Chain A
Amino acid sequence: MSEDSHIIQVRGLKNSFGEQIVHDGLDLDVRKGEILGVVGGSGTGKSVLMRSIIGLQIPDEGEITVFGESMIGRPEEEAKHVRRRWGILFQGGALFSTLTVAENVQVPIKEYFPRMDETLLDEIAAYKVVMSGLGPEAGPKYPSELSGGMRKRAGIARALALDPELMFLDEPTAGLDPIGAAAFDELIVQLRDALGLTVFLITHDLDTLYAICDRVAVLADHKVVAIGTIPELLALDHEWIQEYFRGPRGRAAATVDKRERARV
Chain B
Amino acid sequence: MPDFTQSNEDGRSVLRFTGNLTLARIRKLTERLSEVKEDRPLVDLSGVDRMDTVGAWLIYKLKRDRRAEVVGESDEHRSLLDQVEKADQPVKVRPDSTPAFFRVVGQIGAGTAMAGRTLYGLLGFFGGLLVSLWNVTTHPRRFRINAVVTNFEHVGIHALPIIGLMSFLVGIVIAQQGAVQLRQFGAEIYTINLIGRSSVKELGLLMTAIMVAGRSGSAFAAQIGSMKLSEEVDAMRTIGVSPMEALVVPRVLATVLLMPVLGFYASILAIIGGAMFVWIDLGIPLVTFIQRTREVVPETDLWQMLIKAPVFGLIISMAGCFQGLQVEGNAESVGLRTTAAVVQAIFLVIVLDAFFAVFFTSIGWL
Interface residues of A (CB under 8 A from B): 97-98, 100, 102-103, 106, 109, 113, 115-117, 120, 122-131, 136, 138-140, 142-144, 160, 162-163, 193-196
Contacts and interface: CB of A to CB of B under 8 A. Distances in A.
Given A113-B23, A194-B79, A195-B80, A122 B93 contact: yes
Contacts of B26: 116, 120
A141 to B, nearest CB: 8
Nearest to B90: A136
Given A113-B23, A140-B93, A163-B22, A130 B331 contact: no
A219 to B, nearest CB: 28
A100 B95 contact: yes
Given A97-B331, A194-B83, A195-B53, A140 B94 contact: yes
B52 A163 contact: yes
B91 A139 contact: yes
B94 A102 contact: yes
Contacts of A106: 93
A100 B80 contact: no
Given A98-B332, A193-B79, A194-B79, 10 more contacts: A102-B91, A115-B27, A117-B27, A125-B91, A126-B91, A130-B86, A131-B84, A140-B92, A163-B52, A194-B80
A139 B96 CA distance: 11
Contacts of B83: 131, 194-195
Interface string B288-305: 000000000000000000
A123 B30 CA distance: 13
B7 to A, nearest CB: 25
15 contacts: A102-B94, A117-B27, A122-B93, A123-B57, A124-B57, A127-B88, A128-B87, A131-B84, A136-B89, A139-B93, A140-B92, A142-B330, A144-B330, A160-B53, A194-B79
B76 A100 contact: no
A10 B120 CA distance: 60
Contacts of B96: 140
Contact of B52 (A113, A140, A195): A195
Contacts of B307: none
B53 A163 contact: yes
Contact of A109 (B23, B89, B90): B23
Interface string B14-32: 0000000011101100110
A124 B54 contact: yes
A130 B53 contact: no
Contacts of A120: 26-27, 30
Contact of B329 (A127, A136, A144, A160): A144
Nearest to A161: B23
Contact of A113 (B24, B53, B76, B331): B24
B91 A130 contact: yes
Nearest to A143: B330
B92 A102 contact: yes
A128 B22 CA distance: 15
B337 to A, nearest CB: 14
B34 to A, nearest CB: 9
B93 A125 contact: yes
A120 B96 CA distance: 19
Contacts of A195: 52-53, 80, 83
A127 B330 contact: no
Contacts of B22: 163
Given A113-B24, A163-B22, A194-B79, A97 B330 contact: yes
Contacts of B92: 102, 136, 139-140
Contacts of A196: 76
A219 B27 CA distance: 44
Nearest to B96: A140
Contact of B91 (A136, A162, A193, A194): A136
Contacts of B329: 97, 142, 144
A115 B91 CA distance: 22
Given A109-B23, A194-B83, A195-B80, A126 B93 contact: yes
Given A103-B93, A130-B89, A117 B57 contact: no
A98 B330 contact: yes
A198 to B, nearest CB: 15
A128 B95 CA distance: 18
